[in-house]
Structure 1
Amino acid sequence: MCSIQEGDIENPIKKDKTEKSKVCMKCGGEAVLITRINDPLCRDCFMVYTTHKFRAAIGKSKIIRDGETVLVGFSGGQASSCLLQLIKDGLSERAHKKLRFKPSLLFIDEGAAIDMSAEERLDSCQKILQVMAKSGFPCHIRSLEEAMDSSFITTDSSKDSLASTELPDLDEQSQGQRSKNDLDTDRPKPAEKPKTNGLPIDKDFKEKCIHYDESEIKLKELLKSLKSVTAKEDLIKSLRYNILIDTARKHSHTKVMTGDCSTRLSVRLLSDISQGKGAHVAMETGFADKRLDDITVVRPIRDFSSKEVTLHNVLNDVESVFIPTLTTKAPQNTSIEHLTESFITGLQADYGSTVMNIMRTGEKLNTEILDSTEQQCIICHAPLDTSTGIASALNAVEFSQKISRKNDDKLSPECCGEGDGSCNTKSGRLNKEEALSTLCYGCRLMVKDLSDVNKLPEYIQRDITNRVNRSKMKADIQDYLLADD
């Protein structure tokens, strides 16, 4: 029988049948907007409503402590701009109860993934910097291709060695070398003369945008080797997540804020389930993602719908920057996530409780947090969901793929061509079967879509190799180990 009670989900009500009132439901004044299905509010009551929802989400969780520094992911879109404005209002002097944490902004340039020209990338970064500089918070810019660098590290062991690194000043470049991929700005000074149309653009960053480097070429080759747009979107999301975590560890942040609203999270929930990631949707859509021991990802506006986000930005004249993605102006069936988004937004237009019902269902899900890193996926760091029984559907699918493989497919795309089974030992290249054994089911589908696993970022290859070597060593000495009682 269905475990959902009758009162758990609201009955769908078509918006055409709702009565629109011009009286605010809170104060009785003149209403200027309607939230949810039929809740008219005036401007002042709407601002109180959104501010309370944002502050209550942070206060009830008790995750962020007083005086703690928090890294805020800023993409320039409507949701992240709304989050930035709410943080600014909460930290202003006129706030009734000021927020206690110290925010720092991070923008990840993904222009290389969508083949943007150097001028377009530089222009978008300038616009983003202009918005971030107005906030007065420390801000950083990193590029997506940084994840392809050989020096990129996401493990927790890098925290001790990188935590003491101070943010360099743009006006003091001669006092020390700075990273070519990381642009840091300090709090703007009133007497400081602006540069480059008021934006402190770093010279090295300009040169990086204009000239191709090895990391950008590797990223484009990696994306080109993926067959489907769905796999490309999953890879970009994983790389973006790891850069967020890496930046937080470098600057000693233990909390990361993202501007994910309920509409975006409901799309992610259904698309993840359809892609075999149902075991991890509680982490991907919940208020707090605690899959890592040292970093917690927080989503303080997860209860905001996209309509409420837009209304908040319009009423407060919040500036946002549009940056295209892989599926911008693409057909609905370009990817699973794009198709799911089209389905949910279309349903939400007729039935205003669609997103809320999806989110309520997702809140009932739970994911077990595992202590051992050996039981976590190498790419997404979520718990492995592939330890299933012999009669499971996963083993049945893998068995069907194994017996349907033709003899001429024995040489994998990453094979050196010798054909004697010794290519891995000679060249040190990754084997796809060994790589898949360290991934969750959702990431396995993405890697299976990849023509050559050796095109993965080097930090992923290092982690996979270390995990496989430890497993082999443990198997070799298994007979000499004491059993855990």
Structure 2
Amino acid sequence: MCEVEDGDYVDLGKKEKRERLGRTCMKCKEGAAVLIIRVGDAFCKSCFKDYFVHKFRAMLGKNRVVYPGEKVLLAYSGGPSSSAMIQQVQEGLGRDTPKKLRFVPGILFIDEGAACGQSWEQREQNVSEMQQVLRKTNFPFHIVPLEQVFSLPRSVLQSALPVNPKRAENYKQAVDRFLGQQRAHREDELSGTADGLAQLRVTGYEGGNVSGYSRPPTQLTSALTDMLRSARTLTAKLELLQSLRSHLILHVARTCGYSKVMSGESCTRLAVRLLANISLGRGAFLPLDTGFSDDRYGDVVIVRPMREYSLKEISFYNRLFNVQTVFIPTMETKAPENSSIQHLSESFITKLQADFPSTVSTVYRTSEKLNISRTEFAEENVHQERCLLCMCNLDTGVGEAASAFCATQVSQHLSQKSLRNNAVATSDPDQQCCNRGECYERSPSCSSSVPRTQDFMPLLCYSCRVTVKDVTSLSALPPYVMQEAEHRSRRVEMRREIQEFLLDEGC
């Protein structure tokens, strides 16, 4: 009886498979289906392209974050998602495209070969291949080595007000004004009073202006390698790498005048990030890390227009329409599943998605419901205390209500006090005071340029504190981070000294 049931089950599975192979498109009802996105969603090639393009432009049109004429920096990694995003922007900026995109794009690629231990010859080969791909877009692009973060100014860690703050209700007026400017340019072009370059500048096609890329100084490469080597776990290395990458993107956007940055994370990637960030203690910042827009920097807003696409949809689109991608190894390439929290979360989501196809969409829809309770971005919000690494508002000022956090703080304080007492009892008080971290109290002139751990930690959010605990030496961090930490520590010390002369905030 059991054998008969097993045979019937196998025959039924084969029958369902044959039915799927012979299905027609659910939209046009005529063409043969070339793929099935979800159960019952079969598309032919033409209808799938219309579906893919419509979802991208509908995402931008629904949120109304990118205004006409704005300069938008496209963060490109060479992977499937960012490659599909650039393809959508290219098609959306066409002259005869319906629901045309109206911003001015540029592309940024960050060379992270030094972080992966690649030789300069390998990095040159990757950059050369990347340049060949980016030249075909006819967009201005920038290729920047990751080592450049060690020469960034301290101002990159300071939030700023939007250059031209615009409200959502003025979006239609902005579109009408932009269309009027386009008509005026077109009339001038037809009458011979303006050349074609004016129209090209409006649509963003100025040609591929390639920024020079040369080998970074050896000392910067060594500094990056030492910083990653000082992190004891791959989880900490990936978190540091993410923070440094964000700082570099922000610096390039501010320097080149871009007010928006488009990132190509898919909903699969965001679902993985949601679980990983919860595990890393970043639950308070999930709306910023996984939402459509991230305005933590003020003058530069991160936009994620690919967040509605699953990795399956993106892979099929790139395969069907020959979208070129560039594979570049990362720190997680060929790493074991349990090598980091991020990699373990990705493995968990991927395996669960294989057996339960609605896993990614369920996790992703959960992230959509999250929001941060905050007032509108105003001048007083710019001066709020922010984390030195992720630049989010500090989530550690919770008072005594959070018993777990307070207990951790008390435990750390007692441990440091015990270690300090033991060091004082076993060492010469006239030597090596800087190594004990007591030189500032004993002699300010003997103070080291590297902030003490107890002064540096309060400047970080909870998640970044966990990351920095796995870093063996604070001096390995980039100079601009340490300079900003020293600046803030001095301001706190100065405020403490003059506190009795200040008026209360309620006065």
CA contact (8 A) 2:83 2:324 kept: yes
For residue 420 of structure 1, report the CA deviation from its aligned partner.
7.7
Equivalent in the alignment of 1:315: 320
Look up the match of 1:213: 218
**How many Å separate the matches in 2 of 1:134 and 1:420?**
55
How many equivalent residue pairs? 430
The one of 399, 407, 416 aligned to 1:389: 399
| Alignment RMSD (CA, Å) | 2.6
Q: Aligned match of 1:367 in 368, 372, 388? A: 372
Following the alignment from structure 2 to structure 1, what is the Cα–Cα distance between the partners of residues 437 and 313? 61
Partners of 1:333 and 1:157 lie apart in 2 by: 36
Percent identity at matched positions? 40
In 1: Cα distance, 2:16 partner to 2:356 partner: 10
TM (normalized to structure 1)?
A: 0.83
Q: Is 1:402 aligned with 2:402? A: no
From 473, 476, 483, give the equivalent of 2:494.
473
Q: How does 1:116-135 map to 2 (within 5 A)?
A: 116-135=118-137
Alpha carbons of 1:201 and 1:477: their partners in 2 closer, same or farther (altered >3 Å)? Answer: closer
Per the TM alignment, residue 376 of structure 1 is displaced from its structure 2 partner at its CA by 1.3
The structural deviation recorded for 1:74 is 0.5
Of Structure 1 and Structure 2, which has the larger fraction of its residues in helix?
Answer: 2
Which runs of 5 or more structure 2 residues have no equivalent in the other structure?
1-12, 163-204, 376-380, 425-431
In 1: Cα distance, 2:440 partner to 2:224 partner: 25
Query: Is 1:429–1:454's contact at 8 Å kept on the other side of the alignment?
Result: yes
How far apart in 2 are the matches of 1:158 and 1:221? 31
Q: Does 1:377 align with 2:387?
A: yes
Map Cα deviations across residues 230-257 of structure 1 (whole Å, 9 max, x no partner): 0000000101111111011001111000
1:129-179 Cα distance to aligned partner (Å, 9 max, x none): 11111000000011111111264641458999xxxxxxxxxxxxxxxxxxx
Structure 1 counterpart of 2:438, from 417, 421, 435: 421
**Distance change (3 Å), C-alpha of 1:258 and 1:418:** closer
* Alignment of 1:80 onto 2:94: no
For residue 101 of structure 1, the aligned residue among 97, 100, 103 is 103
What is aligned with 1:41?
43
CA contact (8 A) 1:159 1:252 kept: no
Structure showing greater radius of gyration is 2
**1:397 corresponds to which letter in structure 2?**
T
2:48 and 2:304 map into 1 onto residues whose CA distance is 21
Deviation at residue 273 of structure 1 after TM alignment = 0.1
CA distance in 2, matches of 1:316, 1:381: 39
CA distance in 2, matches of 1:266, 1:362: 8
Aligned match for 1:342, one of 343, 347, 360: 347
Q: For 1:126-165, what aligned pairs fall within 5 Å after superposition?
A: 126-149=128-151, 151=153, 153-155=155-157
1:327 shift after superposition = 1.1
Contact 2:159/2:297 (CA < 8 Å) preserved in 1?
A: no
Alpha-carbon distance between aligned partners in 2 of 1:143 and 1:226, rounded to the nearest angstrom: 21
Contact 1:256–1:298 (Cα < 8 Å) also in 2: yes
Q: Structure 2 length normalisation: TM-score?
A: 0.80
Q: Partners in 2 of 1:231 and 1:77 — Cα distance? A: 23
Distance across 2 between alignment mates of 1:471 and 1:449 = 26
Where structure 1 has 5 or more consecutive residues not aligned to the other structure, the ranges are 1-13, 161-184, 190-199
Looking at structure 2, the residues matched to 420 and 22 of structure 1 have their Cα atoms a distance apart, in angstroms, of 71
Match of 1:431 in 2: 452
Distance 1:405 1:97 in 2: 61
Question: Which moved further from structure 2: 275-284 or 150-159?
Answer: 150-159
Q: Is the 8 A contact 1:110 1:144 kept in 2?
A: yes
In structure 2, which of residues 275, 278, 282 is the aligned counterpart of residue 270 of structure 1?
275
Quote the residue 1:25 is aligned against: 26
Residue 404 of structure 1: CA displacement?
4.2
- Is the contact between residue 291 and residue 369 of structure 1 (CA under 8 Å) also seen in structure 2? no
The Cα shift of 1:475 comes to 2.1
Helix, strand or coil: the match of 1:436?
Answer: helix
1:447 and 1:387 map into 2 onto residues whose CA distance is 19
The reply to whether residue 282 of structure 1 matches residue 287 of structure 2 is yes
One-letter identity of the residue aligned with 2:219: E
Alignment match, 1:304: 309
Mean Cα deviation higher: 351-360 or 88-97: 88-97
Q: Name the CA distance, whole Å, in 1 between partners of 2:131 and 2:160.
A: 28
Q: Is the 8 A contact 1:374 1:467 kept in 2?
A: no
Check the 8 A contact 2:74/2:261 in 1, yes or no.
yes
Matched, 1:356 2:342: no
Q: CA separation in 2, counterparts of 1:423 and 1:247?
A: 36
C-alpha contact 1:423 1:429 (8 A) present in aligned 2? no
**Structure 1 residues 295 and 369, CA, compared in 2 at 3 Å: closer, same or farther?**
farther
| Corresponding residue for residue 187 of structure 1 | 207
